Amino acid sequence: METKTLETLLVDAADNGVVTVTMNRPEKKNAANGTMWDELREVWTEIALDPTVRCVVMTGAGDAFCSGADLGGQGGVQRHQLQAMNMIHMTIQAFHHIMVPVIAKVNGVAAGAGMNLALACDLIVASDQARFSEIFARRGLSVDFGGTWILPRLIGLHKAKELAFFADVISAADGERFGFVNKVVPHAELDATVDDWAGRLAAGAPLALAMTKRMLTLNATADFASALQSESLSQTVNFGTSDTREAVQAFLDKRPPVFHGR
């Protein structure tokens, strides 16, 4: 993966396999227009197919993560509303095809589709200045960008309805209390904390982490027998990899393992 600057995104690929995708419309609090949806879909598809990527960090430029969809200026190709929604659905589906761990680095407001993008990440680390809102109801809209699927699974049905119906703005601390924020840190410590987590994930065994991520997502709605079967199949694959042999040898040698994803 190469570092690059797009119209609405900054993509920074570090040597350790961590790719940081920054939504870069700070003057709009990184509200997503049509161009951003298109660029996110393209970048996420590229990441999903790139074996050198070990971890992804999603964040926003300036003082916001993402304030949701830009209802005032769509940008890009003009589409019928149904076409536009289909394009947005294709974008979030591309995000769910990323098999490596994804961290949301929430530096400010995450509202509407921006909140649901953060929720779709595997981990959320939030600044103590971050705020979250399922803002849709205030705009006369229903929840989208996958929020109706993921929010009840994270915090339960009734709490999800509370956030969606009232569209209140809640603090990062409340997000942690509700159970959808993993960690809240002082704003000045946000970068260092995410860098530490991303580095640790990037150093992990890629295939094992990918299969664990997939199983945790899919088995949330599977029966117990099906979950055990997927665990058995995944573990069988792991035992056939050089990464597992390296992990065992490193344990015996009393040294950190070096994983290569094969």
Query: What does the block give as tokens for 45?
Result: 């598809």
- Least confident residue range of 16-25, 28-37, 80-89: 80-89
pLDDT tens readout for residues 50-74: 999 999 999 999 999 999 999 875 5
Architecture of domain 4-202: Alpha-Beta Complex (3.90)
What's the helix, strand, coil split of the chain in %, to 5? 50, 15, 30
User: CB-hemisphere CA count at 13 Å for 258?
Assistant: 2
pLDDT tens readout for residues 26-48: 999 999 999 999 999 999 999 99
What average pLDDT score do residues 154-165 get? 96
Domain limits, the chain: 4-202, 206-253
- Least confident residue range of 3-12, 73-82, 106-115: 73-82
